[in-house]
Structure 1
Amino acid sequence: MVEAYILITSAIGKVRGVSEKIEGLENVKSVRIVTGPFDLVALVESEDLSTLTNTVVVGIREIDGVVDTNTAIVVE
């Protein structure tokens, strides 16, 4: 099992819509709108690194309104 926190920057005015779309993706366990340098934090759990990568690159990054992502893989 691979776990990661995805730190997401969204376009202005699109945070709630992006959050709702991310919540609907497979392997996404939770999404929170936050303050600070990022707009959202998503917790993703997947069977392997390839599936995690696919969730981020094909799932999250393709959502209209997502400007940037930063992935922090849980190591311990």
Structure 2
Amino acid sequence: MVQAYILIQTEVGKASSVAEVVGAIPGVVRAEDVTGPYDVIVRAEADTVDDLGRMVVARIQHVEGITRTLTCPVVHL
């Protein structure tokens, strides 16, 4: 299982609706509005890194109102 945090920037005023839509995507564990340089932070999991990448590119980045994403895989050192 691969886990990651996905940091999302949105259009002005879209953070809440983006978090709601992204939170319903399979593989998303949690999506929350935040303040700072990013508007939404998502915790996601997938079976493989490739599956995670497909989720981000094919599902999350297509949500209306998202302008940029940054995917941060969780590592266990």
Instruction: Extract unaligned runs of 5+ from structure 1.
Output: none
Q: Which residue of 2 aligns with 1:7?
A: 7
**For the residues of structure 1 that align with 2:23 and 2:15, how far apart are their CA atoms?**
12
Q: CA RMSD in A?
A: 0.6
Moved over 6 A (4+): none
**TM-score, length-scaled by structure 1:** 0.96
Cα deviations by residue, 1:14-73 (Å, 9 ceiling, x for unpaired): 111111110110000001111110001000011001110011001110011000000100
Instruction: Extract unaligned runs of 5+ from structure 2.
Output: none
**TM-score, length-scaled by structure 2:** 0.95
**For the residues of structure 2 that align with 1:35 and 1:15, how far apart are their CA atoms?**
10
**For the residues of structure 2 that align with 1:18 and 1:35, how far apart are their CA atoms?**
14
Q: What percentage of residue pairs aligned between the two structures are identical?
A: 36
Aligned residues: 76
The DSSP-based 3-state class of the residue aligned with 2:57 is helix
The DSSP-based 3-state class of the residue aligned with 1:44 is strand
**For the residues of structure 2 that align with 1:15 and 1:74, how far apart are their CA atoms?**
23
The DSSP-based 3-state class of the residue aligned with 1:16 is helix
